[in-house]
Amino acid sequence: MPNVYRLIAQDLLRHHPGRTAVGLLGLAASIGFGLAAPMALATVIDSMSGRGPAARPVLVLALVLAGALAGSALASRASADRASATTARHRGAAFTAALRRPPYDAGFPDGELLARCSSDAETPARIANIVLGSAVTSVGGLVAFVLLCTIDWRSAVVVAAELAVSWFVVRAFLRGSAEPEAGYRAARGALADLLVDAHRGARTIAALGTHDRELRRVLAPLADLRAAGRLSWRAQRDVGWRMGLLDPLLNAVVLAVAGLSAVAGRLGPGSVLAVLLYSQLTLMVLEQVDSLAAGVRALAGTRRLAELLAAPPPDPGGTARLPSGPGRLTFDRVRLDGRGGDVSCTIPAGAHVAVVGPSGSGKSRLVALVGRHADPDAGRVLLDGHDLRTVPADDVRAAVAYAFEEPNLFGATLGAAIAAGSDLRDEDVMRAARLARADAFVRRLPAGYDTPPGDAPLSGGERQRLGLARAFAQPARVLVLDDATSSLDTATAAEVAHAVRDAWHGRTTLVVTHRAATAAAADLVLWLDAGRVRGYAPHRALWSAPGYRALFGAVEHDPVPQGSAA
């Protein structure tokens, strides 16, 4: 379990020491002047009873109250500044950790990541403010108790007795608050993940007419939310009525004890009022119950945030630079996802290789290793004879370009999305779009290449062609198409295949595909099954195997034209 307490301490002491110091100063001033207020008020009352001049005590009381107000304002401002800065820093760190997670490794679902980067990122700042406020308030309560003892020790005994009784009530409450809050946040994360999943499939849900069933599925975590919320409210209800009975009972007992002291001549009118006020200031510790409960609830969110931040960063690789080369790939006894077998083969430089296999065979995992989007459980991946783990990850990413089945278009415009942050000229962007057969439909848009991606009504196939254009625009030596033409019709897919040949002539290409025609057009086919190489040869040489033909849904007949490329 990540050390959340160290995380909170670093927020207070390392990252925001100035704001913490100012906040402590404001809290100390507020509590200090608040402790002086009962004595100042008692002096005013005594002076009004004919025991001395009233002007000066009233002025002192006014200054004390003004000082308490100023200290409170200073503490509130420092607290707000520290909270906003802390939340911004944790939210940035959470987003960075989320983006750095290996995309092919198991991790947090999308909804969980959203919850941890948003609401959970606010909890450390909340706890830090509660810690500071409770600490200063507790010290102030202790000082108030000492002052109460100097005025009337009998009343102090009564206050001490209530504190002892209240402690057991509060302790049970805080213990019972942690578990329901953890369950509540877990259920909320599950709800967010289901909602994100349903939003992605909104068109499919509408087409199938399964709205009601999906609504029940998405809202299923509400039962856990409701149960956790009821447990939390029940705990607050129990402590509320108990503390609600104790507080007026204490006031009545303290007033009775102070009144008896006044009748006996031990206390004057001002001192009686001071006893009541100092008893209330002493019991400010009990008024922190709500804050402490909020801190316990926030602690569950901080633990979830710390889990995300504590995830190990991806291996940055070695320091040896990756020299230029033709693009020869070697898989040396590579094991995928802890499977029993391994993959050993060499892809010649400049070869176009189709990667095929049934669902779950490890195709996407294997091609992810080429760009170090994931690392093998065992074995090595070599590019032009260099182990990819021995060179910086940035060198690997610059040498390998990817296009995916569902490309995300980042950037302010479609042109920027194709350039993908690179310093490319407009003509280079348009050339890549032409090669991917995307230039024509982009030019038909009102703003052309300046159209924001969110404003462009793109089909799945058009998005894939833009993803291909982005890959074509990169000056890499290896191109990986991870099912990147699945949404294209047969004619467009054939055009794109020819474009890949033209644009990537002499450079290595790996194509994850489910199409027999794409496999037939490749130089070689790498046939995977359960993380092992079942075949590595030209398409026509593998076609005689029934298991290979079954991959393309053709067992009884050969759909490949006689003139297809081997």
Q: Last residue of some domain: 309, 339, 370?
A: 309
**Whether pLDDT at 263 is above 60:** yes
Determine, yes or no, domain membership for 200: no
Determine, yes or no, domain membership for 503: yes
Q: What per-residue confidence (pLDDT) applies to 557?
A: 43
Mean pLDDT score, 543-552: 89
| Each residue's pLDDT tens digit, 76-127 | 888 888 888 888 888 888 888 877 776 655 567 777 777 788 888 888 888 8
Determine, yes or no, domain membership for 398: yes
* Residue bearing the bigger pLDDT, 400 or 307: 400
Determine, yes or no, domain membership for 15: yes
Would strands 329-335 and 343-347 be described as parallel, antiparallel, or unpaired?
antiparallel
Token pair recorded at residue 37: 């207020």
My answer on whether 344 and 279 are in the same domain is no
> Which residues, 6 or more positions from 237, have their beta carbon under 8 angstroms from its beta carbon?
none
**Whether pLDDT at 477 is above 70:** yes
My answer on whether 137 and 254 are in the same domain is yes
My answer on whether 155 and 55 are in the same domain is yes
Q: What angle do CA 81, 82, 83 make, to 5 degrees?
A: 90
The DSSP-derived string for 178-234 is HHHHHHHHHHHHHHHHHHHHHHHTHHHHHHHT-HHHHHHHHTTTHHHHHHHHHHHHH
My answer on whether 255 and 377 are in the same domain is no
Determine, yes or no, domain membership for 448: yes
**Whether pLDDT at 51 is above 60:** no
Binning pLDDT at 50, 70 and 90, where does residue 245 land?
Answer: low
CA–centroid distance for 279 within its chain:
45
Number of compact structural domains in the chain: 2
My answer on whether 455 and 377 are in the same domain is yes
Helix ranges (H only) for 264-318 are 269-282, 284-287, 289-309
My answer on whether 250 and 389 are in the same domain is no
My answer on whether 386 and 505 are in the same domain is yes
My answer on whether 447 and 514 are in the same domain is yes
My answer on whether 278 and 371 are in the same domain is no
Quote the pTM value.
Answer: 0.61
**Cα distance between residue 187 and residue 166, in whole Å:** 32
**Whether pLDDT at 520 is above 80:** yes
Phi and psi, residue 560, nearest 5°: -85, 120
Binning pLDDT at 50, 70 and 90, where does residue 418 land?
Answer: confident
* Burial of residue 330, with CB atoms counted within 10 A of its CB: 0-12 exposed, 13-18 middle, 19 or more buried: middle
Amino acid, single-letter form, for residue 566: A
Mean pLDDT score, 300-311: 80
Q: Last residue of some domain: 274, 309, 344?
A: 309
Determine, yes or no, domain membership for 187: no
* Residue bearing the bigger pLDDT, 499 or 456: 456
Q: What is the CATH number of the domain that holds 532?
A: 3.40.50.300
Binning pLDDT at 50, 70 and 90, where does residue 286 land?
Answer: low
Q: Share the mean pLDDT of the chain.
A: 79
**Whether pLDDT at 242 is above 80:** no
My answer on whether 359 and 457 are in the same domain is yes
Binning pLDDT at 50, 70 and 90, where does residue 24 land?
Answer: confident
Length of the chain: 566
Place of tokens 């109250």: 65
Query: Are 435 and 472 spatial neighbours (Cβ–Cβ below 8 Å)?
Result: yes
Mean pLDDT score, 139-144: 83
Binning pLDDT at 50, 70 and 90, where does residue 513 land?
Answer: confident
My answer on whether 49 and 171 are in the same domain is yes
β-sheet with 478-482: strand ranges across:
400-404, 478-482, 508-512, 352-356, 524-529, 532-537
| Each residue's pLDDT tens digit, 421-466 | 677 888 888 988 888 888 889 898 888 888 888 888 887 788 888 8
My answer on whether 16 and 119 are in the same domain is yes
Determine, yes or no, domain membership for 198: no
Q: What per-residue confidence (pLDDT) applies to 559?
A: 46
Q: What is the CATH number of the domain that holds 95?
A: 1.20.1560.10
Phi and psi, residue 336, nearest 5°: -110, 125
Determine, yes or no, domain membership for 92: yes
pLDDT more than 90, % of the chain: 6
Token pair recorded at residue 53: 């001049």
**Cα distance between residue 25 and residue 22, in whole Å:** 5
Q: Last residue of some domain: 277, 309, 341?
A: 309
* Residue bearing the bigger pLDDT, 248 or 364: 364
pLDDT more than 70, % of the chain: 83
> Which residues, 6 or more positions from 565, have their beta carbon under 8 angstroms from its beta carbon?
520, 521
| Domain limits for position 541 | 329-551
Q: What per-residue confidence (pLDDT) applies to 566?
A: 33
Q: What per-residue confidence (pLDDT) applies to 558?
A: 45
